Structure 1
Amino acid sequence: MKKFFLYGLLATAVLLTSCNKEKSYSIESTVNDKINGFIWIGLNNYYLWQKDVPDLADGKFANLSDLYLYFNGYSNPETVFESLLNRPTDRFSWIVEDYIALENSFQGINLSNGMEFGLVLYKNKSNNLFGYVRYVIENSDAATKAVSRGMIFNTINGSQLTLDNYNALLFSDATNYTVGFADYNDGNPVSNNTSISLSKIEIQENPIAITKVFTEGTKKIGYLLYNQFARNYDAQLNAAFANFKSENINELILDLRYNGGGSVSTATYLGSMITGQFNGQLYSQEVWNDKIKKAFSADSFINNFKNQIRNTDANGNVILQESIQSLGLNKIYIITSYSTASASELVINSLSSYIDVRLVGKTTRGKQVGSVTLYDSDNLQRNGANLNQNHRYAMQPLVLEISNKDNKNYPNGIIPGKTLPGIELGEDYTNLGVLGERSDPLLESTLTYITSGLKTSNKTNTTFEFKEVFNSKLATPAKDNMFINFK
């Protein structure tokens, strides 16, 4: 899959060749000036909505002096970056001040206590929030202290969680906090006088969380709980499918309820593992800004089904090459939630053009756009010449919109039972069950759906629709990002 290296090929020359860089700048430039210049140049080249932002126009600045002076009054690089985005259309571009943490996060490495959770508004319509534990990462502090899926909490360091304070209480630079647990109390939790102190350390989470096979009569049903499209786990993902193949499964449940996305190439490999009979056919197609579309041929913007994994590093060296273990399925069941986003939605959308895709869960996020990581170097890449050593800022701007072979995507989310066949079914905070076991209501409903065709829903049992406002994965540097790698 050909990707795009533009800096020096395109009209960044409008800025860079029309000025003599530092020579025309009468005041000695600061580190922030350099960062601001990098932000503008990167967005001017790659940003999906470049032509819609007046300050990103090619003729906006005569030289770097003009650019530096224009942004000199901004308080920090974050405000410069934000000023150049096409909000509110662009909901997902962001900038980081530590690209090492971002790179680690793409590999599942984060500073974490291991308690993965969602935050939900109280039923009483106040601004109070409660958290529910989704799962606990192995070998984490939470795992050693008996935190488990389904536990409810409503205080941190003795303070009630609210819409106004949850970010400061849970996601500050502090590496320790005390969690106050609670009883559900019909959606308005009350303390049960249990508290646990948790500490964050750098840990790596294996996104291939659970694989198993259920035998139901003549059906052998594979189950995979997959939590991030992390390229460094492509070999392990392929091995999981090799095991499914050896078990001769004839149905597959792909659980993406907590998967916010990741690598487009991994999403393409996963679709190829599920199928296999469509090798070489169009899996997804990308739309970039006008500059990039003019600079590259049409086949540069398509991603085809593969029969081989071939991953390279930033220098083009092959780091993984092996045949894809394909199942040849014509139908798949996928468990979803509002946390199912970007690359997860790409898999659902792309497969739906070819096979029967059935969903169990809630409406997905509606993130049909992808990004690249841009660094402050001569070619905006990590291995580029003159990588600025005075800071670690990097950008993750949206650069592409992606759709299936039928030119369809769903910016308002994919709805089980409406957009695609299936069952609309949310998590029951009073009974989350055990992931990978039939006690998990979503898994049990999916198994019933497969074996009997019956659709069970909790909509008739619940008249109140809780609002989930945030989750712990969104606080990681990788967030709910879908990205491509320059090749």
Structure 2
Amino acid sequence: MHQRRDWRSALLLLAAGSFLMTSCKKEIDSITPQSSTTTSTTSTSDQEVNKWIIDNLKIYYYWNDKLPANPNNTQKPADFFKSLLYSYDATVRPDGDRFSWIQESADELKASLSGESKTTGMEYQLYRPAGTDDIYGKVLYTHPGSPAALAGIKRGDIFYKVNGQKLVTANYSQLLAGDGSTFTYGFAKLQDGKIVTTDETKTVTPVVLQQNPILMDTVYTIAGKTIGYFVYNQFVPGPNGSSVPTYDNQLDAIFGKFKAKGVNELVIDFRYNPGGYVSSATNLASLIGRGVDQSKVFARKEWNSTLTPELEKQYGKSFFYDYFKTKANNIGGNLNRVYVLTTRRTASASELVINGLRPYMTVTTIGATTTGKNVGSITISDDTKKIKWGMQPIVSKSFNSLGQSDYTAGFIPAVKIDELLTQDWKQFGDISEVMLNEAIYQITGGRTARRPAPPQESTTIISSSIEQKAGGSNMFFEAPALRVNQ
């Protein structure tokens, strides 16, 4: 028989578990706290799931003091979860929750947080031109070796049809979600700054793909400057299910190369990075920060009033702090500043790195205003496996070493550049690519290519496949071995 843990016992699991900073997932880092109290082998009722939901939110939710007193327990779990949230409202609740989410499969949630999902391998952004119901997708990038990449789909490609149907506001969501079967995309092209449809099609079949978050890296020598550049799309330490931080190690190796080549300027491409494991954010920041080591604070976490005194009592004040690591491949000694490329998809752990580095060096953002997520979440699942759901509630707020956390509206770029539908997009690493080119100009004072005037277009960005990524970053708490009373 599974006995119910009291909230202090569940707290021990939290301390030994994982913490994530993710972007929102249009409705939205791992512990297994409150268990189901039933022992029946029959299917779990909605009421049982709902009880599990609210029991855990009462303990962990950052706004647990604002949970409704008498929630309607007869709702479906997803609706019930949503009804409990202290939801964001620009006028009434500007400090509210924009990011908590729940998923019917905890296993799928955990896999996606580690960069594994069923996908064509094509990330895209959707645009709607003003005065029309037309929807156009523009490819942000494709994952190397994915079905989309093997089909020849590349960054900047524009599609307007899926499986023979033109994308419009009434059908795009259903067509792009599909049923997991084959997708045939119909493509358009740019001609004199205008979209022209073509008969070209490409067919891809989604597969379960483990996505390496490091898309590319390179070093440029321009005007006496040695510039390191890398594209990083999710804070993930290693592949799903692996205990080896393969991707963190790859970043270490990249910075080893940067150090060996004498890199003295750095450009980080976070434009499509929705977040991820705080451990990976700490690792990356430790490779960049000037004068940092394990004695310097990278970030501080603020928890709710229920958990804070208990956490401090059991683990001390250091529990609330994340410290830099001392890294052999740190290049901060050669850097006074760092440039970060951003878009509205840049969120969470990406913003944590920006905020965490600012007390130690100049951080200049180029692109568009970031998401504005200064809060973190944990993955909560049922350790008995009776309840299959997984939820990702916000549990803390993050500050840098100076106590700054003032970016709920996002980081406004020092240099504003938008990626537009009718703009010709260059490939990553091309020094004439508009954002990278701007960074090089800021570093050297000279342009490697003329900055194009933005096309005169009026379009609305509808959504992006990036929003459907769990993003996910974890902050691993090394808790002392304590007995859990059951």
Q: Distance in 2 between matches of 1:403 and 1:438?
A: 34
160 and 189 in structure 1: CA distance in 2 versus 1, 3 angstrom threshold: farther
The aligned runs of 1:200-215 (5 Å cut-off) are 200-215=206-221
Stretches of structure 2 lacking an aligned partner (at least 5 in a row): 13-35, 89-95, 239-246, 479-486
What is the TM-score with the length of structure 2 in the denominator?
A: 0.81
Q: Distance in 1 between matches of 2:191 and 2:85?
A: 43
The alpha carbon displacement at 1:404 in A equals: 1.8
Task: Render the CA deviation track for 1:213-248: whole Å, top value 9, x for unaligned.
Answer: 001132110001111100212111111111111111
Bigger shift: 336-345 or 405-414?
405-414
Task: Indicate if the aligned counterparts of 2:290 and 2:336 stay in contact, CA closer than 8 A.
Answer: no
Q: 1:471 pairs with 453, 458, 464, which one? A: 464
Q: Distance in 1 between matches of 2:98 and 2:157?
A: 31
Q: 2:321 pairs with 294, 298, 302, which one? A: 302
What number of residue pairs does the alignment pair up? 427
Task: Render the CA deviation track for 1:81-104: whole Å, top value 9, x for unaligned.
Answer: 111111122111111122222222
Is 1:404 paired with 2:386?
no
Equivalent residue, structure 2, for 1:375: 381
Is 1:218 paired with 2:224?
yes
Bigger shift: 251-260 or 280-289?
280-289
Q: Distance in 2 between matches of 1:151 and 1:22?
A: 52
Equivalent residue, structure 2, for 1:86: 86
Amino acid corresponding to residue 451 of structure 1 in structure 2 = T
> Identity rate of aligned residues, in percent?
33
The alpha carbon displacement at 1:117 in A equals: 0.8
Is 1:129 paired with 2:124?
no
Bigger shift: 173-182 or 208-217?
173-182
The aligned runs of 1:4-403 (5 Å cut-off) are 7-9=7-9, 30-55=44-69, 71=73, 73-74=74-75, 76-88=76-88, 89-122=96-129, 124-184=130-190, 189-232=195-238, 233-279=247-293, 280-297=295-312, 298-307=317-326, 325-328=330-333, 329-377=335-383, 387-388=384-385, 390-403=386-399
Q: Distance in 2 between matches of 1:101 and 1:167?
A: 21
SS of 2:366's partner is: strand
Equivalent residue, structure 2, for 1:319: none
The alpha carbon displacement at 1:462 in A equals: 4.1
The structure whose RCO (Cα within 8 Å, separation 6+) is larger is 2
Q: CA RMSD in A?
A: 2.9
What is the TM-score with the length of structure 1 in the denominator?
A: 0.81
Stretches of structure 1 lacking an aligned partner (at least 5 in a row): 13-19, 61-66, 309-322, 378-386, 418-422
Equivalent residue, structure 2, for 1:484: 475
30 and 359 in structure 1: CA distance in 2 versus 1, 3 angstrom threshold: closer
248 and 21 in structure 1: CA distance in 2 versus 1, 3 angstrom threshold: closer
Bigger shift: 200-209 or 167-176?
167-176
10 and 109 in structure 1: CA distance in 2 versus 1, 3 angstrom threshold: closer
Task: Render the CA deviation track for 1:164-221: whole Å, top value 9, x for unaligned.
Answer: 4322111243232211111346887442111112110011111111111001132110
Task: Render the CA deviation track for 1:75-127: whole Å, top value 9, x for unaligned.
Answer: x21112111111122111111122222222222111111111111121x3323
Amino acid corresponding to residue 284 of structure 1 in structure 2 = A
SS of 1:231's partner is: coil
Task: Render the CA deviation track for 1:1-39: whole Å, top value 9, x for unaligned.
Answer: xxxx98334899xxxxxxx9569x9xx994433322211
